[in-house]
Amino acid sequence: EAQLVESGGGLVQPGESLRLSCAASGLNFSSNWMGWVRQAPGKGLAWVATINNDGKETYYVDSVKGRFTISRDNAKNSLYLQMNSLRVEDMAVYFCGRAGTPGSVDYWGQGSLVIVSS
């Protein structure tokens, strides 16, 4: 069964760091672009970052450039999001997703909650 499982969320103070992981199974991970989408409490969905299949191309939304880093380990079927200098406005549920078809996300994880509060 195809599955994406996020982990690593939690409560941090502003300015601190957190690393999210996303473990893929049954999804032909190494052949697909992957990405992170976040959803602030009670709000809509917003793209955060995308990475191509071999990890050599990455794209970020302006609000996280220079603070967040997306990476992957195809040998471990895992996607990561290193989040530094976290701000209150970064508080959200973070979903990992597979871009299995161009310009789209066909599989989503269940989400990992990041709380940024002093």
Partner 1 sequence: EVVMTQSPLSLPVTLGQPVSISCRSRQSLVSREGKTYLNWFHQRPGQSPRRLIYEISDRDSGVPDRFSGSGSGIDFTLKISRVEAEDVGIYYCMQGTHWPWTFGQGTKVEIK
47 in contact with partner 1 (CB under 8 A)? yes
**What does each C-alpha distance from 115 to 13, 20, 49 come to in angstroms?**
8, 13, 19
Q: Which is nearer to partner 1, 66 or 102 (CB)?
A: 102
Q: For partner 1, which residue of 1, 41, 44, 75 counts as binding (CB under 8 A)?
A: 44
- Nearest by Cα to 67 from 113, 15, 116: 15
Q: Which helix (H) or strand (E) holds 65?
A: none
**Does residue 106 belong to the site contacting partner 1 (CB under 8 A)?**
yes
The CA distance from 111 to 71, in Å, is 17
Give the nearer residue to partner 1 in terms of CB position, either 22 or 116.
22
Ramachandran region, residue 68 (left: φ > 0; alpha: ψ -120 to 50; beta: rest)? beta
Q: Is 61 in the site for partner 1 (CB under 8 A)?
A: yes
CB of 95 to partner 1, least distance (A): 6
Nearer to partner 1, 7 or 110 (CB): 110
| Site size with partner 1, rule: CB under 8 A | 22
* CA distances for 30 relative to 1, 9, 25, 36, angstroms: 17, 24, 11, 16
Q: In the complex, which residues of this chain contact partner 1 (CB under 8 A)?
A: 35, 44-47, 50, 59-62, 95, 99, 101-106, 108-111
